[in-house]
Each structure stands twice: as structure tokens, then as C-alpha cells.
Amino acid sequence: MEKTFEYRIYPNNAQKVLLQKTFGCCRYVFNKVLSMRQEEYKQNKKTNGINHYMTQIPTWKKTDSPWLAEVDSMALQQSLRDLDKAYKNFFRSPGKVGFPKFKSKHNHRQSYRTNVISVLDTKHIKLPKIGVVKARISRPIEGRILSATVKQVPTGKYFVTICCADVPSPSISEGSIEILGIDAGIHDIATCSNGTRLANPKNLTKSEAKLKREQRKLSRKQKGSHNRERQRIKVARVHENIANQRKDTLHKFTTSAIRESQAIAVEDLHVKGMVRNHHLAKAIADASMSEMIRQLEYKCAWYGRNFVKVDRFYPSSKTCRVCGYHYKELTLAQRSWICPECKTYLDRDLNAAINIAREGERILNDTVGHTGIEAVA
């Protein structure tokens, strides 16, 4: 099993300069080869393979770009591999994946990947060409190190993400719930089939006044000034706090849900289409439905639980969980309804969660499968 470990690093001023050089050189090589491939395709209707460009890096170091020799050579090669992967993804899924774009130095989120890294102890990491960097190793690394991504976030902090293989699966006790259905929403981020609800903390709404105030200050600063850069970091910190609060809430909920159950069933929501509703876009984004489903899926793989996605067109909210009556007239504004057939009072979200759990159980027991259903073990 593969797993990533992220740690914050604290480079000194000289190391920060080297990191910025590495970001810039990787960006330069990426953009240079992207431009070359575009020109080749215009002229010959085909391009050379990625190995052709990798062999030219030593020549560039000796001729027009000698400063490329100052940074990690593996990072330069990895940037070209990332470009090649972006090309392949575009041609494999045209319309779904966009064409590779040029990288900008004005982007406040920079990163590069390398294959050589050493974790010396709980306080130090060694990076190629950078040297020994102070780090906060909050938990030990497991498995075999495959690669490492060094990144700088908009707040100016530096992190290293280490990807490891052959990580042993964590052992947890068998859950008491056979299958847990989860209905994602806005008022409650998640409603579970056992009656548990995760209320929406509305992190963005709570910090919106502060965010607006800091953004107004930013708009009044002169472009290119040091005061503007300091204020930009203050705005980025507000965004970072909001994102961290969301992640913390979701991680606690998803881990608890998986520990208590043997299988998880969720609805295959089309969140990208849902946010096109301009009246609900901010609320849907603040609820982080996609992130919750993503966490549930990879944690089920970690802990050996079954994960089921129910078809998005399955009428979980409109179907009575008692008698199976399909109430077609149910609107989005109705949060509860009484079944015309059996007269049962139904909470919309709880009813949907129970129906999702039952449909997920049917899918797991069905050896033939069901159109639009995805099961991951």
C-alpha cells in the first residue's frame, strides 16, 4: 500500500534562495519543453518522446543555461516526466482533461519533485543540493520511500511530502455497523443511516467578515510594494485557516465513520455540476462534499473496508424507507415529508441515508453488478 507523509520544513535564508532557484529552474525546463513540443507539433504533426528532451538537459547546462547545474538534476527530469504525464492525460481523456499550461512565476504555490531524500532524525531532513534542513517529523515514516515533493504554499511556509510504498495496513477492530449509508448535504455535511449527523461548521461564513476586511486592505496597497506582499500573506493565512478547519472536521468524521462500520455507501454526487447553481455555490463549496467522499474512499482502502458509490440518479430522498413508495413531487425545499402510502413521517436526509445504505448493501451482495455503481474494496 502506498501512503504519503507530509512534514513542515524550516529552511534558513541560504536554503530558501536555493529552493527558489530550484522552483524557477524546474518551471523554466517545463515551459521550455512545452513550447518546443508545441512548435514541433505545428510543423510535423508529431513530437519527440520525453527521453529526447531529457538527454538535452546536460547540453543546456553547458551552453545557454549554465545556472541549471546549480539545482537538483532529478528535479529537472521529474518536471519533464510530469509534463509528459500531462500530455498523455490530455490525449487519453480529451474534453475532461485540459491541455498542459505554462507555469507562472507569479503563482504563490510552487513545488518540485525529487527521488532522493533522507530523513536523518526527528528534526532534520536532507534534500539534494539543499543540504540538511530543519523539519518537524510528527510521525515516523513507514515503508520504502519512492519520491518527495517540496512545496511552498501562499503563506510562505515550506513543506515536504514523502510518498512511500509497501506501507503496512493499519489494523483496527471490526466495526459494529455492517454498512453505513452517508447522505451529503449543506445544512448537515453528512447524515448517517444510524442517525449520526455532522453539522456544517460554516467555516467560510464565520471568517468571511475578517477575510473581506483583509482583502480590502490588500486592494489599497500599491502593487509591487513590500506592504502589499505582507498584506497578501495575511489574506493567505485566513484562507489557510479556513481550509485547515475544514480538513480537521472531515478527517475526524471520516475516520470515526470507518472505524465504526464494515462498509461505507455514499451517493456519487456531481459536485462540479452542483456548484453551477449560483445561489448555492458558496454553501456547497464550504461543505466540501467532494473532499469528504475522497477521504472516505482512500481510508476505506487503508483500513480494508468496502466502499460503494450509489448512482446519483437513484431516488434516495424520494423513496419511502418503510414501504418503498416513490414520492415524485418532493422538492428540494421540503426537508421532511409524510408518505402518502403508509403515513410515515420521514426526515429527508435520514431517509436518504438509510436508502443509500440499503442500496449499497444490495450492490455488495449482487455478484452481477449494477449500471453506474462503483464498488471499491
Give the contacts of 49 (CB within 8 A, at least 6 positions apart): 84
SS3 374: strand
Annotation says 267 is catalytic: yes
Active-site choice (72, 84, 214, 349): 349
How many whole angstroms separate alpha carbon 229 and alpha carbon 333? 44
User: Is-contact 326 318, C-beta < 8 A?
Assistant: yes
Cell of 200: 456544517
Give the contacts of 351 (CB within 8 A, at least 6 positions apart): 316, 317, 319, 320, 321
Active-site choice (72, 84, 267, 286): 267
Annotation says 349 is catalytic: yes
DSSP 127-185: ETTTEEEEEE--S---SEEEEEEEEE-TTS-EEEEEEEESPPPPP-PPPSBS-EEEEE-
CB atoms within 10 A of CB 26: 26
Annotation says 311 is catalytic: no
How many whole angstroms separate alpha carbon 76 and alpha carbon 57? 8
Active-site choice (183, 214, 286, 359): 183
For 166-305, strand residue ranges (E) read: 180-184, 188-192, 197-199, 263-267
Crossing angle (nearest 10°) for helices 226-260 and 289-303 = 50
In whole angstroms, what separates CA 66 from the centre of its chain? 36
Q: Report the catalytic residues.
A: 183, 267, 349
